[in-house]
């Protein structure tokens, strides 16, 4: 109880505080990079493995890499169907941001010496099929998929933020900032999906629930295998 009370203010600070974008471009307006911002390519990957909780960090980086890989495949599937439609530009912009996320996690896999999940070949196919399948329902179906997936990912990132703050917020400061940034990006994707009529998709509630159950299973498996 004493430990929980001690870390609670720090957890709330990390979960709720919004810093300027640091590791990617926002999507609103004309999706500009904020003043003073830098791209993911310039984010540091210099880390020290001494004193870290390696099992926890391995699990976090492995599952996040898998999640961003799967998100890229979902957007690839959506673009294969809707790339030339009116929804194409916004889907492409969100996909470009996910590409940056994946590139960063590729770097962290090397920096922290983390093996990828053995399920990547499956997520490769499953992600594309999910993206293309929901896009066949039209723009609203694709946006419903975006809302479901991005809500699951942002909730998962929040859980990881709590874990790292409870471990040592100073030791994992850079990783915390990156995860929080990516969480905010996913929230923005979620909101964009809602703005583009996701809730008007056929059987929206059923579709969203089914996709999120799949996301939970993917997270559970990718953390462990």
Rounded to whole angstroms, how far apart are CA atoms 65 and 171?
Answer: 21
150 known member of a binding site? yes
The Cβ-side half-sphere exposure at 124, using a 13 Å CA radius, reads 6
Residues whose CB falls within 8 Å of the CB of residue 212, separated by 6 or more in sequence, listed in order? 148, 149, 151, 152
195 is in an annotated binding site: no
Give the 3-state secondary structure of residue 85: coil
- Residue 98, annotated ligand binder? yes
Half-sphere exposure of 134 (CA within 13 A, CB side): 34
CA distances from 93 to 14, 18, 175 (A): 27, 22, 24
Question: Does 167 belong to an annotated binding site?
Answer: no
Instruction: Give the phi and the psi of residue 3 in degrees, each rounded to 5.
Output: -65, -45
The span from the first CA to the last CA of the chain, in angstroms, equals 33
CB 158 within 8 A of CB 17: no
Annotated binding site: 68, 98, 101, 150, 186, 189
Annotated binding site for Fe cation: 68, 98, 101, 150, 186, 189
């Amino acid at each position: 109880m004493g430990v929980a009370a001690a870390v609670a203010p720090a957890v709330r600070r990390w979960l709720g505080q919004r810093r300027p974008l640091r590791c990617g471009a926002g999507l609103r307006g004309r999706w500009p990079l904020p003043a003073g911002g830098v791209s993911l390519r310039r984010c540091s990957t210099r880390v020290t493995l001494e004193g870290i909780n390696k099992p926890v960090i391995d699990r976090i980086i492995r599952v996040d890499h898998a999640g961003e890989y799967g998100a890229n495949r979902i957007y690839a599937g959506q673009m294969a169907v809707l790339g030339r439609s009116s929804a194409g530009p916004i889907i492409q912009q969100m996909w470009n941001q996910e590409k940056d996320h994946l590139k960063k996690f590729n770097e962290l896999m090397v920096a922290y010496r983390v093996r990828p999940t053995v399920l990547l070949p499956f997520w490769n196919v499953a992600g594309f099929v999910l993206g293309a399948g929901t896009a066949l329902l039209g723009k609203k179906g694709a946006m419903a998929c975006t809302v479901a997936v991005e809500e699951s990912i942002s909730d998962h990132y929040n859980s990881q933020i709590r874990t790292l703050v409870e471990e040592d917020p100073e030791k994992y400061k850079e990783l915390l900032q990156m995860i929080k940034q990516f969480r905010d990006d996913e929230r923005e994707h979620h909101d964009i999906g809602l703005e583009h009529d996701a809730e008007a998709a056929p059987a929206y509630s059923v579709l969203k629930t089914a996709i999120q159950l799949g996301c939970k299973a993917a997270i559970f498996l990718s953390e462990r295998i």
